[in-house]
Chain A
């Protein structure tokens, strides 16, 4: 077997990012300590180049492209997810430019690690084989382990990173054990081959059930689904704030690609077997995520639990196991990326405070001092709570519709009840901002890059809430409904 030019072209965006990072690491030596922001701008340029390469692939009209003997398959779903990754990584870099300077961790490696992680996500998105999925997921996770512990002088950061890396390694071992049994039972690791083998087998051996549970545990860890969520609050609190945003948005989205590929596509013939397991995972995630968030005093921990809950909602679209469900998950994750990056942008602005804007009480009376910032935060919180006319509402709406069309009305009702519970802790922050008198003077960091991120997110959250049709149409075209 030879690697041809077509194989190279299929992974050109990944190659651009991976190749440029290696060059960037060398360039880093030439840049002085004060000018590390240049690394950030160069990284943005790399992402832009990769986005152009991805875009030109959709132009040529040749999708889906299969390459590397079925290891890689670039289809429209992959492109849609890659766009989410580009947006999330670019906005994270813009949030980081001033933040890492403030926190005295202004190192070029920070951006390099982010781009390595982006490469892993892109590979995951265009994988069509368990081997390449596993490699992509690990390439995504390893740089994030390092990024979580990036504030090496802070004991909390090391502790959070240590917990994350041990549990992460444990969960990927469990996932691999599941993969090895899938390979043993079906004789292949290719997603389409697995579906084929499962369809033609007349009886499913018991080992298959065990393998599926192990895969759910491994991938469930990556989306921080309950009961595999223990690492999330600690890692989110420990990480630099932009990285918290990155983990909760991009890494979670990448894990959902795996659910789409492996479960919705690969395990399509045995849908009853995994539907129940994922339903339990989704309900537990919504329950624990939305109720434990109420008790938090640190806003990053609160958003960690909120992110666990949102993972539960997005899982509902996977459970529907239809093309419509997949498209609703894709739309939901895009919406979630904007609203979560937006709210973390506000938190980054507050980081000049003593407690770094990390305590919920830091926001007491914000509306009296800075009405605009409080209003922006209010819109993001409304969106996270799923209140119309924000994008968060539309995202939930389409996921629930996909469930109801599959006849799983009870599950949609349960999810709606949990989102009512969730509204409580989002609105509590709004109450603190608007109903209380400020106890102190606020000091903000207001660099242009963070303001741009907040503006972009705000426009997206409102536009996707009022006019979601075009993006929904794109998602539905990607899964082949239209």
Chain B
């Protein structure tokens, strides 16, 4: 095994940065901000280095690169074991890309306890990267849980009025799922030890033996894992922590929550549920897809009547993530590719939407749609940017959302596992509702005569805000116009995974 240490730096740099922050005097807020931004930029550069030396031509869902392994609890064969493939890497890049932008966006909005905030953000970044690169289930679980803590504080300290309720709900809800997963991890390792001869949580070894388990055991384990991931996604009807968490979280928290944290759920489904329990995954694909499709429609419909902008965007996440789950459980390369690119799209578009809501909230201190009206004439740049981002979320061709939805719907439509095109057609009608709720919100905020006198005094986006948005929009357009750059990172992975699962199940494609 070729080892490489570069991934360790991805974890080490944010952690070291967070620890170094301790020595900064709390009063010197700008120094703290600059240092936090610097650290996250270094992390981003390291992830780019990984990307440049990454070989996307490797075919397989269990082939990792830049592996590093260090025995941790040797009696139980638990090790610190990291590595990336296309799926991990694209999500790591999303994380390292969004974190500096998010930190930049908090320059003015976070004024109290700046040091603590930056500290938690960096720790959070480390946790998220750790989740995506862990190749040991135990290590994965540690990062998965550890990452809850900074998020809990970010919502609980810098959040809105009901922040305590929201942060406790977020914490306990997700914790509830994770504990079942922990049980399942141990159970799985014990079962697997009968064929490997020793207890291990090494993912690659489990990949080899786990599919041989009987369907009944696979089913239990599958649901224990899937429940934990489904809460994180969130899959209907496990979604109600999300609107509360989003509404109460500070802008930066919402961006990271929507941008990266939700992706950990879908990532978990793809990385663990599918390859570890291929028979159970196929067996229950129909039910999970059904929940996903319900989520698509339901999330969109509930979004339509929300009065709070953030809540509207939060429910739209339920709808969009439903698409991702549908793509995953279609078991076609198109669906899988669509799901992966849609994870990125959602991170960019919804992240951008939350940022935009945050920008205007900083100026007016209200997120109620009814408090706005006719501000297109007052803040033309802001309204143009908002329109582009909204259209990307609606799935307008030429922007990123379309590519993901389109591939997912193709995948679901021709899926040999779902083998019913109703899933795709019903989900596709979610696209209409997306247009309804976003354009309706847009109209109520931006169009018409200027509603209140104080809205006339709104200032348009400043340089920093514009910079953040332009950076995001570059990628929104890039993926929309030339998605190959991103799709090729995972195309070998997706077809290998799908092929393997279908062949384990003995499904012949027409």
Query: A and B, one complex?
Result: no
Residues of A within 8 A of B (CB): none
